[in-house]
Structure 1
Amino acid sequence: MAEVATSGTSSATSDQLLVVIDPVARRADGESVRIAKDVLSAGSAGAKVCLPDGPEEFARALARRGSRRPVVVGDDRALVRTVELLHRHRELAGCALSLVPVGGAVSLARSLGVPSGAVAAARAVLDGAERRMDLLVDDSDGVVLGALRIPPLGGPPRVRDTDGGVTRPWLQTCRSFVRTLAPARPPAAPGSGPTRLLVEVDGVTLVGLHQSVEAVSVVPGVAGTARVEVRPASVGAEASPLSADARTVTVSGAHFRYRADATVSGPVRTRTWEVHEAAWGLTLPA
C-alpha cells in the first residue's frame, strides 16, 4: 500500500485528514481522484494520502488512522465498506466520515446529500459539518445506509453483440424468432416472482405467510425508525401496499435474496434488521 504524506503548517487534530483512495476509483476516474487529492491536500495541513491495493489494505489503513479524520475517495461500495468496518470495531460513534464520490455507482452518496463532482465534494469535506444519521444493522452485523429491497431490484442487463456494441434491432428480431423454435424454458427460479414471506415490525405481523408478496422495501423514516412497505401480489384489482414505521424488521419464509444499498446478499431463510439511531456521522455541506 502506497502512502503519501503532505506537509504543511500546524493544524488542529480534527483538521488532519486520512485520505483513503479506493483502488476502484483510481481505475475508474484517475483525473477526479487527482483533483480530489490536490484540493484536500491544499486545504488541510498534514493530510495523509493512502493508496490501498485491495480491501485488506483499505481496512488496515482505516484502522491505523489514529486521530485523523477519515476521508474516503470512492463509490457507494467503498462508503458502505467503511461504515461496516467502523461498526464492527465499534468505532462509529466517535468518527465523522467524509466522502468524495468517484466511480460509476454513486447514487447512494447523492441521496445522502454528498455533492457531485470532485471539487465540490472535496470542499464540503473541508468546510462542511457532521450530520448524524440512523443506521440499519442486521443480525449478521451487516449495515444498510440507504434502502433495503426484497427481491433485489435492478434493470435487466443490456444485450450486446460479439463486437461489444448494443445488439442491433434486426439481430434482436432474429434471435427472438430463434427462441420461438427452441424448447420452452423451465419455470422461473424461486424468488423471481411473487413469494410468501412473513414480515414482522417490532414483533407485530405486517403480512403473513398466507399472502404472496411482490416486494418488500425498508427505507429511512423519522428519526430512530425505518419505513417498511410491503406490496402484496395483486389478484384482479391491484392490492394496496401495507406500510408501517418500526425500529426492528424481521423477514422470514422461503429462501430469499435482498439488496442492501449496492450489494445483493442471500439466500437466507430469515433476517432481522434493527435501526440504530444517529449511529454514524457524515460530513455534508454546512
Structure 2
Amino acid sequence: MFKKAERKQAKLRLALAGPSGSGKTYSALLLAMGLGGRIAVIDTEHGSASLYADIADFDVLELHAPYAPERYVDAITSAEQAGYDVLIIDSYSHEWTGSGGCLEANEQLAHQKFRGNTWAAWNETTPRHRKLTDKILTSSLHIICTMRSKTETVQGEGKKIFKLGMKSEQRDGTDYEFTVVLDLTHDGHTAMASKDRTKLFDQPELISIETGERLLAWLNSGVSPEDRAKELLIDALADIVNAKDIPSLHSAFNAAKVIAHGFDDLIDQVVIAKDKRKHELTPQEQSA
C-alpha cells in the first residue's frame, strides 16, 4: 500500500571528494566530532589519519592492500560490534582503484576465467562491490567516506593556478548512494555540495565541528523509530484484543512482536495484551 511519506531519523551517509591536499581526512574528523560519540577510522592512506590525533580522539584500523571489498565489509562489521558511533572510511577510492580493488581484481578475473573479456568478468565483480555498498547503506553507524578526485590544473585571474577536483575515483553512480556529497577545493579547502538531500549546503563553506552538529540536528529531526513503532502498534494491539480464537491470537501476537522488536516497553505492552486476551479466550476454547 502507498502511504504518506515522512522523514525518519537516520544515520549519516556522507562523501567528501577532492584532490590530494584538499583536506578530506581533516574535514571528515571535524564532521565526526560534531556528530558526537566514539569515532573509528579505516585508514588506507598509510597512517595519514593518525597525523590528526591531536585534534580528535579516535581509534584507527590501518588497512593495507589488497583493498578487496570484503575486507572493507569486515572492517565495518568490526566497528559496529565494537560499539562506535561514527566511522570514517579514508579512503573509499582504494576499494575501486587500489591494489587488489575492484578494477584490478576484475582485470585479473577476466584473464583467468573469461579469456580477457572484462565485461563478462563484471558479472562476478559487481556483486562483490555491491555487498560493500549495501553494508555502508544499512550500517548502524554514521559513515563518512573520503574519495579521491582526479585533479585538473586551471589558470584563474591574475594567472593564479588552481587545482580542481574532477570525477571521483569510484564506480560511476556512487554519488547517488549518499545523503550528502561535498566536493573540497585544494585552495581554501572549502566544500561545495554536488548532492545535498539535507538542503543545508546552499553556499560553499569551510567544514567545521559545527557543520557536523548541524547535520546531526537534521538527522534527528525526523520521526523516531520508537514513535513510528507506537503508531503501528495501535492496529496490531487492536488485532490482539479482537482475536476470535487462539490461532488468531498467535498470529496477531507474532505480528505485533515484529513491530515492537528492539523496544522493551512496547514488547511488554504486547505480552500483557496477549496474556489478557488468552485468559479471556481459554474458557471459550474449553467449552467448545
Query: Normalising by structure 2, what TM-score?
Result: 0.20
Higher RCO (CA-CA < 8 Å; seq separation 6+):
2
| Structure exhibiting the larger radius of gyration computed from Cα positions | 2
Instruction: Identify, as 1 or 2, the structure richer in helix.
Output: 2
Query: Normalising by structure 1, what TM-score?
Result: 0.20
Instruction: Identify, as 1 or 2, the structure richer in strand.
Output: 1
